[in-house]
Structure 1
Amino acid sequence: MTSDPIDYARLDEGRECNYWELDRTLRFEARRVYPDDEFEWAEALLSAFGERLGHEMADTADRIDGAGHELRSFDKYGDRLNEVEYHPSLRDQERIAYEEFRMTHDAFHAPPGRDSPVGLCHPLAMQALLSYVDIGFCCPVSMTTGVAIVLDRFDDGRLDEYFAGLTAATLDDHIEGAMFLTEEQGGSDVGANEVRAEPTDEEGVYELHGEKWFCSNIDAEGALARTPDAPDGVAGLSLFLVPRTKPGGEVNDSHFRRLKDKLGTVSVPTGEIEFQGAEAFLVSEAGRGFKYISEMMNYERLTNAMGAVGVMGRALLEAKVRAARREAFGNPIDEYPLMRRDLVGMAVDYEAAAAFSFEAVRLLDERERAGDDSAAYKLLRLFVPVAKYRTARMAVETTSYAMEVLGGNGYVREHTTERLLRDAQVLPIWEGPSNVLGLDVLRALNRENAHEALLPYVEEKLDAVDHPALESAVETVESRYGELQDALGTLATEDEAFAQYHAKRLADLVFDVVTGALLLDEAQWGIDAEQDGRKALVARRFVETRFAADERFGMADEQFTAVVEYGSVEPAALLDGMAPAE
C-alpha cells in the first residue's frame, strides 16, 4: 500500500482542513489499537470530527482564548450565584462535542450503528483530535468521562441520575464532571487534604467544609474530603459528588472565590472554592475515595498524554505549512538541510509520543475488558505515569520549536503557536508533576510487580522484528533493554532514597526502550502488511537519536519526504544504502 506525500504548501496555515485525514500518524495508531469492529464503526466519525475541528472549532477556540470567561459569585442583590459567564461560543463547542459527536456518551451507551458501547480507545482518540484545537476544552470533556467511569464502576445506583446526565447525548440534559483534589497545604500530597465531610440525618448525604485551591471546570461536581474520625493520609479520604445547585435548584452552600489568571487553557475556568456546608453525596463506601479517584486519575493522565499528542500534531502541522510556504533566499525554507533535519526530528518525536500513548490507551481498554489480574493491568500501571511524564515535556519542546519555525509571527496571538505553547505548559503540571510521576513508576514496580509484565512484553516486540534493514536498530534497543534490566535489578537491592533519586531516569529508560521496540514492531508490520518502509525510517531515526553514541551524517531528501510528508518507501530501498533518517 503506497500513499502520495502531502503537499503542505497548499494550506495557508493549519486550519481549514481535516485534521484526521492529514494526520496519518494518528490514523495509523488508532487503527492499531481499536478493536477491529470498533475502528470500522469509528473511522467515519473520526474523519467527520476532524473536519469540524479544522473548519469551525479551531477558529472558535481562538476567539474563546482571546476573550475568556467571567466569574459571577453574587448577583446584584448580593445573593449567591456561583456562576461562570462563559464566552457564548463555548456553547457551540459543547454542542458539537457532547451532542453531535457524543464524546461522553458512546463509551457507556450503545451509539447509533452499534449494539453495545465502544471501549475507552474511542473517547481518548477523540480527545487527541480535540486537542488539535483546544486542550483547555478537552479538560472538562475528559473529566466528565472520568467521573462517569467512577460512577459506572463503583456507585451502587444512588447517583444514577447524575450518571445519566454525565453521559447524556443531548446538550440540554448534559452535565459536566470535575475532580477537585488540590488544597493549598497539600498540593500533590493528597493525603494532607483537610476538607471535612460531616454526615447529615440522610444516609449518604454529607456537608462539606473547607477549601479547594485548584478547581478546573469550577462549576462542575466532584471532590475528595475527610469524614469525622477518619485516619490520616489517603486511607481517610472519601469521594463525594458535589452539585453546584441542590436538587431543588438552590445554589449549594459554597463560595466560588475567584478564577485563576492562568498562562493558558483559558477555555476551562479554574478557580478556588470554599465549601460552607455544601450538600454532597458519598460515592459508594467511605474511606475508599483515593481508590476510586485513582481510576479516574489513570484516565486523566492518559488524557494528558493524548492532549500532548494532539497539541504536538497541531504544532507540527503549523510548522510544516509555514516551512513549505515561507521563502528565504529564493527557496521555501523546508528545502534547506537544517530545516529538513529539524522537521524530521519533530516528526519522529511526534511518532514516538503517539506510539507510546496509544499503546497505553490500548492497555487501558484491554484492562477494562480483562480485569485487574491481567498482564495489561500491570503494564498499564507502569505505562500511564511514564506516558504522562514524557509526552508532556515533549509537547512543550515541540510547540516551542514550532513557534520558532514561524519566526516572529509564531510569537503573535493570531498565529496559534503562541497559544499552543501557553496551553502545552500546563501538561507537565496537570495530573501530577514529573517527580510525583517518577515515584508512581516506583510504586507500579514495587506494588504491582509491573516488571513481570514489562520484560516479556519488550522481548516479544523485538523478537517479532526480522527485516534485515532493522537488524542494527534491534541490536541497539536490545543493548539498552539489557541496561533497563540491570537498572531494575539495582533498584530492587538499594534503599528507598536511592530508588527515588533515580526514578525519573528509570522512567526515561522505560519510555525509550518500549518506544523503540514499539516503533520497530510497527516498522515490521508496515513492511509486511503494506509494503511500505516509511515506519522503518522513523524507527531507525528514533533509535539512533535516543541510543546511538554519535549521530551519523547523511542526506535528508528521501527521509524528509517520507517522514515529514508521509511519502511511501519501497522496502527494498531500505537495503540499498539509503542513509539514516535526517
Structure 2
Amino acid sequence: MATDPIDYGALDEGRGCNYWELDPTLQFEAERIYPDDDFEWAEEVLSEFGDVLGHRMADTADRIDKEGHELCSFDKFGERRNEVEYHPLIEEQERITYEEFGVTHDAFHAPPGRDEPVGLSHTLMMQTLLSYVDAGFCCPVSMTTGAAIVLDKFDDGELSSYFEGLTARDLDTHIEGAMFLTEEQGGSDVGANETRAEPVEADDSVAAADIDRDRIYRLHGEKWFCSNIDAEGALALARTPGAPEGVDGLSLFLVPRTKPDGEVNEAHFRRLKDKLGTISVPTGEIQFEGAEAYLVGEEGRGFKYMSEMMNFERLTNATGALGVMGRGLLEAKVRAAQREAFGDAIDEYPLLRRDLVDMSVDYEAAAAFSFEAARTLDERERQGDDSDAYQLMRLFIPVAKYKTARMSVDMSSYAMEILGGNGYVREHTTERLLRDAQVLPIWEGPSNILALDVLRAFNREDAHEALVPYLQAKLDAVEHPALEPLAGTVEERFVELQNALASLATEDGDYAQYHAKRLADLVFDVVSGALLLEEAQEQIDADGNGRKALVATRFIETRFEDDEAYGVTSGERFAMDDETFAAIAKYASVEPETLVDAPTADD
C-alpha cells in the first residue's frame, strides 16, 4: 500500500504531535519482533502513549529539567529524612507511565484487554517512546522493571511485597526500583566494591518481621552514583563476612529508603550530583550506616543476579538512545522543512538532504539492531540459557548499548546544529537532548567495558556458534535482484568477521583488547546490514514497497569501507606501544632518531 511522505513542514516543532504515528521505523520494528497477538493488542496502546507523550509530557519534561529536584537529608529538627522533594509535575509523569499505561506492570501481569503479560520487548518499545520526551525519567522507570525482573527470578517469595509494589499499576501502592553498584574506588570494576553486609545480631531489633531473620543484614559503606536515590525497591551489592575478593564474594540485597515499620533506614543521603543532564532522575551519594537490608537469593551470587538486571538496563540504554535519536531527528526534519536560507527551505539543498538521509539510515540501523537484541532477550526467557537465543543475546546487548549510545550523542549534536542558534537554547529541546544523550555512553558501562564484554561473549559463551548460522540464514533468504549484490557485499564482510574471530583466537589477550571496539563495530555493521536486507526483502514481499531497500543500500554502501575486517586482522599495534602512548596521550618528548624504528603494522 502506497504511503504519502510525512509533511514535517506542517509541524511547528517536535511536540503537540503523536510520536508513534510520526515514527514508521518504530512501527516497523514492533510489527517485526512482537508475536502477532501481542502486536495486535499493543498497536493501539503504543499509539495512545505516543499521543499522550507528545501532547501532555513533552512540556512537563522541559519544565522539570529546568527546575529540578531538591534533596532534604534532615528536617528542621535534625531528624533524618533522606527524602527528595520532587518537582510537582513529576507526579503527572508517574501517573501517565505507571498507572495509565502500566509500563512497569504489563510484563509481569496481564494488562487490560489481555489474558497474559506481554514480553519485555513491549516494555522497551514503550521506553523508547518515553525517551522521546525524557530519557532521565526513563531511568527510574527502567530500573523499576529491572529490579522486578531480579525478584521475579531469584526471590523465594519473602520479598513478594516489594515485587508487587514494583509492578503495581496503582500509583498509590507503586514503588520504584534502583541499582546501586558504583563505589568511588570501583567504578566499572565491580569486584573492587567494599560495602559490607553484617548479619543482624541476636539482640538486634529489626523492622522486617515477615522476613527470615537469617536473611536480614546491615549494610556499611558508600555508594557513589545512586540514580533514583530514594527508591524503595533499591538493589545493592555488598560483601558478607568471610566472602572472597572479587565478584564471587558479592551478594545482592534489597535496601529500601524506609523500613517496613515506616522508619527511615540507617543511611545518609549526602548530596545530589550536579549533573550535566538527566535532571529528572535524582542521582546522589549514599553512606550506609547499618541500613537494614534483605538478602536476595543465595550469598555470593549477587553479581550473577545483578547481571540479569544489567542486561535489561543495557537494552534500556540502547532503546533510550533510540528515543533521543528519534526526537532529535524529528526536530531536525521539522526545522529543515521550515527554515529558509537564500530563498529555499534548507531541506531543498543537496548537502542537508544527504545529512538527513544518512541520519535517518543510522537511526533505522540502530533500531533494527536494538530491537533484534530485545527479541533475543524475550526468546531467551522462553528457551533458557542453553539456546542460540542466549548466545545471541549475550553478544547483541553490549554491542547495541555501545553503538547506540555514541550514535545518539552524534545525532543530537547535529540536530542542534540544524536548528542553528535556536538549537543551543533551552526552549528548543535539542540542547537537552544532547545533555541527556551524553550520559548514555557512561551509564551501564562505558564503551571499553562493553567491548571487553563482546570478547567474553565470544570466548566464554561461544556466541559465534549461534551468530554464524543466524547471519547465513538471513543472507540466504535475500532474493530480490536489487538486494542480491548488497547481500554479496555483506557476505564478504561476514567472512571477514569470521576471519577476524579466528585471528583473535590465535593472538594474545592484549591484542584482542586492542581491537575489541573495532570488532564490536564490525559485528554491529554486519548484523545491521543483514537485518536491513531481511527487512527490505520482507517489505517488498508484503507491501511491494522498496523503501527499506533504499535504506539497506545506503547503509551498506556507506558503512563498509575498504579496509579489511576494520583492521582487526591487520596486525597493527601502533597505540599499544608504551613510548608511543606516552608521547601522544601524555605529551612525553620523543627523540627523532627513534622514529626510524617506530612500531609498524607488522610488528
TM-score by length of 1: 0.94
Query: Matches of 2:180 and 2:2 in 1, distance apart?
Result: 48
Q: Which amino acid aligns with 1:132?
A: Y
Offset of residue 548 of structure 1: 4.6
2:313 equivalent among 274, 279, 300:
300
Q: Which amino acid aligns with 2:194?
A: E
Query: Matches of 1:286 and 1:113 in 2, distance apart?
Result: 40
2:274 equivalent among 261, 277, 282:
261
1:160 aligns with 2:138: no
1:139 aligns with 2:113: no
Q: Which amino acid aligns with 1:205?
A: I
Alignment of 1:3-402 (within 5 A): 3-200=3-200, 201=202, 202-220=213-231, 221-402=234-415
Offset of residue 470 of structure 1: 1.1
Deviations 1:449-488 (A, max 9, x none): 0000001111111101011111221111111111101000
Query: Matches of 1:24 and 1:438 in 2, distance apart?
Result: 31
Q: Which amino acid aligns with 2:364?
A: E
Pick which of 194-203 and 411-420 moved more. 194-203
Q: Which residue is 1:453 aligned to?
A: 466
Query: Matches of 2:154 and 2:493 in 1, distance apart?
Result: 41
Deviations 1:67-102 (A, max 9, x none): 000000000000000000000000000000000000
1:429 equivalent among 442, 445, 449:
442
Query: Matches of 1:234 and 1:342 in 2, distance apart?
Result: 45
Q: Which residue is 1:541 aligned to?
A: 554
Query: Matches of 1:549 and 1:467 in 2, distance apart?
Result: 25
Q: Which residue is 1:578 aligned to?
A: none
Query: Matches of 1:38 and 1:533 in 2, distance apart?
Result: 26
Deviations 1:339-371 (A, max 9, x none): 100000100000010000000000001111111
4+ residue runs over 6 A deviation: none
1:503 aligns with 2:516: yes
Offset of residue 159 of structure 1: 0.1
1:413 equivalent among 426, 438, 442:
426
SS at match of 2:271: strand
Q: Which amino acid aligns with 2:71?
A: L
Q: Which residue is 2:575 aligned to?
A: none
Query: Matches of 1:342 and 1:284 in 2, distance apart?
Result: 51
Query: Matches of 1:275 and 1:16 in 2, distance apart?
Result: 44
2:545 equivalent among 532, 536, 540:
532
Deviations 1:125-171 (A, max 9, x none): 00000000001000000000000000000100000000000000000
Query: Matches of 2:223 and 2:113 in 1, distance apart?
Result: 42
Q: Which amino acid aligns with 1:465?
A: V
Query: Matches of 1:547 and 1:429 in 2, distance apart?
Result: 27
Query: Matches of 2:407 and 2:486 in 1, distance apart?
Result: 22
Deviations 1:305-325 (A, max 9, x none): 000111000000000000000
Query: Matches of 1:395 and 1:509 in 2, distance apart?
Result: 19
Query: Matches of 1:448 and 1:412 in 2, distance apart?
Result: 47
Offset of residue 498 of structure 1: 1.1
Q: Which amino acid aligns with 2:108?
A: F
SS at match of 2:482: helix
Offset of residue 249 of structure 1: 0.5
SS at match of 2:146: helix
Q: Which amino acid aligns with 2:363?
A: Y
Query: Matches of 1:246 and 1:458 in 2, distance apart?
Result: 51
Offset of residue 502 of structure 1: 0.9
SS at match of 1:118: coil
Query: Matches of 2:74 and 2:62 in 1, distance apart?
Result: 29
Q: Which amino acid aligns with 1:267?
A: S
Offset of residue 330 of structure 1: 0.8
Deviations 1:487-543 (A, max 9, x none): 000111111111111111100000000000000010011111110000000000000
Query: Matches of 1:117 and 1:518 in 2, distance apart?
Result: 27
| Structure 2 gap segments, 5+ residues each | 203-212, 564-603
Query: Matches of 1:59 and 1:490 in 2, distance apart?
Result: 52
Offset of residue 335 of structure 1: 0.5
SS at match of 2:49: helix
Query: Matches of 1:34 and 1:293 in 2, distance apart?
Result: 26
SS at match of 1:21: coil
SS at match of 1:25: helix
TM-score by length of 2: 0.91
SS at match of 1:406: helix
Query: Matches of 1:230 and 1:151 in 2, distance apart?
Result: 23
Query: Matches of 2:60 and 2:14 in 1, distance apart?
Result: 14
Q: Which residue is 1:573 aligned to?
A: none
Query: Matches of 1:259 and 1:133 in 2, distance apart?
Result: 23
Q: Which amino acid aligns with 2:15?
A: R
Identity %: 78
SS at match of 1:115: coil
SS at match of 1:6: coil
> Against the structure 1 CA distance between its residues 548 and 186, is the aligned structure 2 distance closer, same or farther, given a 3 Å change threshold?
closer
SS at match of 2:291: strand
Query: Matches of 1:291 and 1:222 in 2, distance apart?
Result: 13
| Structure 1 gap segments, 5+ residues each | 551-582
Aligned length: 550
Query: Matches of 1:545 and 1:69 in 2, distance apart?
Result: 44
Query: Matches of 2:46 and 2:199 in 1, distance apart?
Result: 46
Cα-Cα RMSD: 0.8
SS at match of 1:213: strand
Query: Matches of 1:405 and 1:414 in 2, distance apart?
Result: 15
SS at match of 1:114: coil
Structure with larger RCO (C-alpha < 8 A, sep 6+): 1
Alignment of 1:472-487 (within 5 A): 472-487=485-500
Offset of residue 549 of structure 1: 4.4
1:404 aligns with 2:423: no
Q: Which residue is 1:514 aligned to?
A: 527
Q: Which residue is 1:569 aligned to?
A: none
